[in-house]
Amino acid sequence: MSESTRRTFRPTGVILVMWAAAVVLAILALVIGLRLPEDYKFTTSQTVTIWVLIGFVALFALFVTLSRVTADEQGLTFVNGWRRRSLAWDEIALVSMRPGAPWPTLETKDGQRFALFAIQGSEGDPARAAVSWLSGHVR
């Protein structure tokens, strides 16, 4: 595999949906909070609770955004949220995704299994193509 065949896979559709959800929630909270009559205003604890929940959605969106699978000459590096792992090609036994699975599974020759969150089954053909491409490079 040459430098020109280095590939990186990211969960593009899921990233867009997660960030859109965070923005929509923030806008809704702001608009509803500003448009409520004075006698129905949010208390401080309610306001903090809403923004903490929106913060959790944004944090989850950040973890999804950080997820990626990068294949190069040495092997595969994948990031699931904040955890990063690198495996040489000769350590990998297979990369597979069952029909209907949310993401593919990577299995090492010593029996360890890892989910590759950056390749989302919900993305359809691009996900299947990514799994096929990765499987074709397993030695």
Whole-structure pTM value: 0.79
Domain count, the chain: 1
Q: Mind listing the pLDDT tens digit for each residue in 102-119?
A: 999 999 999 999 999 999
Measured CA to CA, the distance from residue 71 to residue 95 in angstroms comes to 12
The secondary structure element, H or E, covering residue 64 is: helix 44-66
Q: Mind listing the pLDDT tens digit for each residue in 29-82?
A: 999 888 888 888 888 999 999 999 999 999 999 999 999 999 999 999 999 988
- Residue 106's domain comprises 1-139
CATH of the domain at 131: 2.30.29.30
Measured CA to CA, the distance from residue 40 to residue 37 in angstroms comes to 5
